[in-house]
Structure 1
Amino acid sequence: MKNKKFWILMPLMLLLIISLTGCVPGDGKNSVDDPAGFFWGVWHGWIAPISLIIGFFKEDIRIYEIYNSGWWYDLGFYIAIISGFGGISLSRRKEKCK
């Protein structure tokens, strides 16, 4: 039963990840006239590890959008990085000290 769940969920997760990385920083959607704002900062913070991996193969892809609205983009990016990576430690089991 457990193995069956794995084979059902893994392709779905892979498809989801591939489809959601269509909006990585540096893909040309943002410009000086149309900079990335707060919500793009949140999105780019959440997909930063995936953007980093893609950036190894495509030189124009970065983890941070250079055409951004400034402080608001930075705030969204930072919130996403902290909540995404900091949240992992909250889900771990802690041993009780005796």
Structure 2
Amino acid sequence: MTKTSRIVTACMIALLVSACASQIDEGVMREGGSPGFLWGLWHGFVFPFAWIGSLFDPDIAVYAVPNNGGWYDFGFFIGVTVLGGGSWFSSKKRSK
């Protein structure tokens, strides 16, 4: 497989999987005080530790519900991506 076909295949799989994602209306609050972008960013950063904790304690959650919707989701995504992808990008060797 060429590099281009791998990228296209990965994008198609991601699109297929993300098409199934939805959030119930009861999980979104438009009121002040509900977790927003910054809380989503923080929860994304601490996701690995919260996930490990959630395996042992049912009171620990990795995702805040209810939240304010899209901005919380975006912050959570950025937090997880920076933590997970940052080390991968820095480990790539530079070609001379």
TM range (shorter): 0.5 to 0.7
CA distance in 2, matches of 1:38, 1:93: 30
Find the counterpart in structure 2 of residue 60 from structure 1. 59
Residue segments in structure 2 that go unaligned for 5+ positions in a row: 1-28
Find the counterpart in structure 2 of residue 49 from structure 1. 48
Find the counterpart in structure 2 of residue 92 from structure 1. 91
User: How large is the Cα RMSD of the aligned pairs?
Assistant: 1.9
Find the counterpart in structure 2 of residue 72 from structure 1. 71
TM-score when normalising by structure 1: 0.60
CA distance in 2, matches of 1:87, 1:45: 13
**4+ residue segments displaced more than 2 Å:** none
CA distance in 1, matches of 2:53, 2:92: 32
CA distance in 1, matches of 2:59, 2:40: 18
TM-score when normalising by structure 2: 0.61
Which letter does structure 1 place at the counterpart of 2:85? G
Tell me the matched-pair count.
66
Find the counterpart in structure 2 of residue 5 from structure 1. none
CA distance in 2, matches of 1:87, 1:54: 23
CA distance in 2, matches of 1:93, 1:86: 11
Deviation at 1:96, TM superposition (A): 4.3
Q: Over residues 33-86 of structure 1, what are the superposed CA-to-partner deviations in whole Å (9 max), with x where a residue is unaligned?
A: 631111000000000000001101110212111121111100000011111111
Report % sequence identity: 38
